[in-house]
Amino acid sequence: MNVPASDRPLLLPPIAPIADPELHARLQHRIDRKTKPTGALGRIERLALQLGLILRSETPVLHAPQVLVFAADHGLAAQGVSAYPQEVTWQMVENMLAGGAAISVFARQMGLALTLVDAGVAHDLAPRAGLVSRKIARGTQDASLGPAMSAAQCRDAIEAGREIVHGVPGNALLFGEMGIANTSSAALLLARLAGVPLADAVGRGTGLDDAGIAHKQAVLERALARHPDATSPLDALAAFGGFEIAMMVGAMLQAAHERRVIVVDGFIVGAAQLVACTLAPALHDYCVFAHHGAERGHAALLRTLRAEPLLALELRLGEGTGATLAWPLIDAAARMLGEMASFESAGVSDRGQ
């Protein structure tokens, strides 16, 4: 019997835990025998251990790292929850493609490949190099009036994210996003899936004043009340999420399935990670959290995710900028394992016994 496309179940890829006691012991011994006092490189040592476990190597090499920026529009923008109009989404995508956005500059500086994904921008973007078109629709619906997307659209977005990752090279993916009003979707997902009060989840986004934040919170309270039964991760994602968030969920699931390093940017990418980890808890250990941002809900999200971010630079831009700025530290951790001398190889005397 043929199953209608709208009723086709979502198939989630298996994700293997990174835990490997024998490899863990070898990696820790290797780190401890580097020419330094034990633990002297602090967080970099823990990061090196994580990279070795993800990539199953005592000398991990990060090759062909990719920045993937997923862009889409949100129906909630019609409720005035952002300081900027909706057309800024497509205008900023054009700016990124032209090389003028912050993420464009930082990716160039770091030598990182940058790909923009049209997950659901409410504008027709001309095909060109660096742009992947997987538009589900021209933006989601208004979540304060009904579901942001249908179950079929949510499934299609997740599957598209998986397909995109399967088609790109490299063993490390840096995630970013662009979408006016997507801090509202992230706040709703955080509130529903983690039980965080909206007052602790709603922030200034693109620069709202105090009155704007109060209005935004009132709109989101209505949206939460509109969908009392959307408690599972997929139901909440369909009710509140954006196409870019849903596509990142699928992309992260596929990346962990393929044992790639996942670099999580800020609040919105973190909300996608929250959904993905609720679906597949083993995914968490594949994730490196780039920074602690200035958006109000990000602190609560990081606590929920048990995350240990690398940077605290008061960022709230999104786009993958925090992930890209953290990249040199991630690369340094891998290089420390592979290139730094040991006491034995360097002929350096160890501490006295």
Residue 335 lies in a domain: no
Domain hosting 117: range is: 66-330
Residue 33 lies in a domain: no
For 45-68, what is the mean pLDDT?
98
Number of domains, the chain:
1
What per-residue confidence (pLDDT) applies to 206? 80
What per-residue confidence (pLDDT) applies to 3? 41
Residue 138 lies in a domain: yes
pLDDT band at 2 (very low <50, low <70, confident <90, very high): very low
Residue 221 lies in a domain: yes
Residue 191 lies in a domain: yes
Active-site option among 87, 258, 319, 339 = 319
What per-residue confidence (pLDDT) applies to 207? 86
Residue 11 lies in a domain: no
pLDDT band at 1 (very low <50, low <70, confident <90, very high): very low
What per-residue confidence (pLDDT) applies to 6? 57
> Domain with 189 in it: what CATH number?
3.40.50.10210
What per-residue confidence (pLDDT) applies to 348? 85
Summarised one tens digit per residue, pLDDT across range 267-306 is 999 999 999 999 999 999 999 999 999 999 999 999 999 9
pLDDT band at 350 (very low <50, low <70, confident <90, very high): confident
- Is the pLDDT reported for residue 352 higher than 90? no
Euclidean distance between CA atoms 254 and 247, whole angstroms: 11
Burial 79-96 (b: 16+ CB within 10 A, else e): bebbebebebbbebbbbb
Q: Which of 303, 298, 235 is nearest to 268 (CA)?
A: 298
> How many beta carbons lie within 10 A of that of residue 63, not counting itself?
11
Summarised one tens digit per residue, pLDDT across range 115-171 is 999 999 999 999 999 999 999 999 999 999 999 999 999 999 999 999 999 999 999
Q: What is the mean pLDDT of the chain?
A: 95
- Is the pLDDT reported for residue 182 higher than 60? yes
Residue 15 lies in a domain: no
Active site residue 295: no
Query: Could you tell me the strand order of the sheet in which 113-120 lies?
Result: 131-133, 113-120, 66-72, 172-178, 261-264, 287-289
Summarised one tens digit per residue, pLDDT across range 331-340 is 999 999 999 9
> Which tokens in the block code for residue 221?
């309270």
- Is the pLDDT reported for residue 88 higher than 60? yes
Sign of CA dihedral 167, 170, 171, 177: negative
What per-residue confidence (pLDDT) applies to 19? 97
pLDDT band at 4 (very low <50, low <70, confident <90, very high): very low
pTM of the model: 0.95
Residue 337 lies in a domain: no
Q: Which of 209, 200, 159, 204 is nearest to 300 (CA)?
A: 200
Share of the chain above pLDDT 70, in %: 97
Summarised one tens digit per residue, pLDDT across range 192-224 is 999 999 999 999 888 889 999 999 999 999 999
What per-residue confidence (pLDDT) applies to 219? 96
- What residues pair up with 117 in beta bridges, in sequence order? 70, 132
